[in-house]
Chains A and B, each alone.
Chain A
Amino acid sequence: MNTHRRRLPGEEGVWVFILGDMVVFALFFFVYMAGLMGQPELYRESQKSLNLTIGGTNTLLLLSSSWFVATALSSLRQGLRRRARNLLMLAAACGLGFVALKFVEYGQKVDQGLLLTTNDFFMYFYVFTGIHFLHLAVGLFVLLYLWLRLGNDASPGDVQVFECGAAYWHMVDLLWLVLFPLLYMVR
């Protein structure tokens, strides 16, 4: 692939959306950090209840799902549609693993009596991880759409559409890469 000529993956609109979403999440990050500095002892104490193993596993799942999506795009560019579809399924499987662990994690918290209304830390925890989770859920539908589309005959716009979907999925991944250490580790 010619790496010397710069090109825009996907199309402009998806990048406007992605950047907008990243700005919104940046504001979430700032608000949380301000909250932490406002009530450091409360946040640090509450943070101890978080399940680092689930959070860490979820990180590995999303990183791997991005690898599958990136490799699927590469396969599609080489005309290997079946391979791209299989890799999409594996990416989705990782995403579903994240969903399952998220339910387990929230379930654990509820069992411990730690709810959205418990204190400011848990309000931010549920709201921000919840909004991220909704983004991931949308991402799963995006992957499904790409998978279905690749089942049809090849069409000229296939790669560009795939690039758009892939970019969105990678955004979901990178937002978690910041959110996870911020909520679970920073104190």
Chain B
Amino acid sequence: MYFSKTTLVWLALLLLTALSWFITSDDHGLRYLSQSAITAILLGVAMFKARLVILHFMEIGEAPVALRLVFEAWVLLVYGALMAIYAGLFSV
């Protein structure tokens, strides 16, 4: 392939950033989506981008499984907790 894995990951990160920008700017054609759905997508994309950096830039994808599990858990727990708070599960 012409591009290194690093470059492909970077391109994916740029595209996902542009996607989030697009969704948040004017909601073109996405007016049928609720604010909750948009938030779920925005945060989901954000966590996925963080995961790409973790697995490929930080090289956790090739690290011992135990360490990888901890990072995957961080991604899932942060996303889960943020969505749970957003959904009102922990109202103060």
Interface residues of A in 25-81 (CB under 8 A from B): 26, 29-30, 33-34, 36-38, 52, 56, 59-60, 63-64, 66-67, 69-71, 74
The answer on a CB contact under 8 Å between A52 and B21 is yes
The answer on a CB contact under 8 Å between A174 and B43 is no
Q: Which residues of A contact B14 (CB under 8 A)?
A: 60, 63
Q: Which residues of B contact A3 (CB under 8 A)?
A: 62
Q: Is B90 an interface residue (CB 8 A)?
A: yes
Q: How many residues of A contact B (CB 8 A)?
A: 45
With contact pairs A37-B85, A63-B17 given, residues A177 and B62 touching in the complex (Cβ less than 8 Å): no
Rounded to whole Å, the gap between the CB of B87 and the closest CB of chain A is 9
Q: Which residues of A contact B88 (CB under 8 A)?
A: 37
Bound form: Cα–Cα A57–B92 in Å: 35
Q: Which residues of B contact A127 (CB under 8 A)?
A: none
The answer on a CB contact under 8 Å between A67 and B7 is yes
Q: Which of A52, A70, A174 contacts B54 (CB 8 A)?
A: A174
Flag B45-66 by CB within 8 Å of A: 1 or 0 each: 1110110011011111011110
Bound form: Cα–Cα A174–B71 in Å: 12
Q: How many residues of B contact A (CB 8 A)?
A: 45
With contact pairs A52-B25, A170-B53 given, residues A181 and B63 touching in the complex (Cβ less than 8 Å): no
Bound form: Cα–Cα A163–B60 in Å: 12
Secondary structure at the A interface, as helix, strand, loop or mixed, is: helix
The answer on a CB contact under 8 Å between A22 and B10 is no
Q: Which of A6, A19, A171, A184 contacts B70 (CB 8 A)?
A: A19
Give the residue among A8, A22, A63, A180 with the most B Cβ atoms within 10 A.
A63
Nearest first, the 8 A-B pairs at minimum CB distance are: A185-B24, A174-B53, A67-B10, A174-B50, A33-B85, A170-B57, A181-B46, A70-B6
Residues of A near any B CB (own CB < 8 A): 3, 6-9, 15, 19, 22-23, 26, 29-30, 33-34, 36-38, 52, 56, 59-60, 63-64, 66-67, 69-71, 74, 163, 166-167, 170-171, 173-174, 177-178, 180-182, 184-187
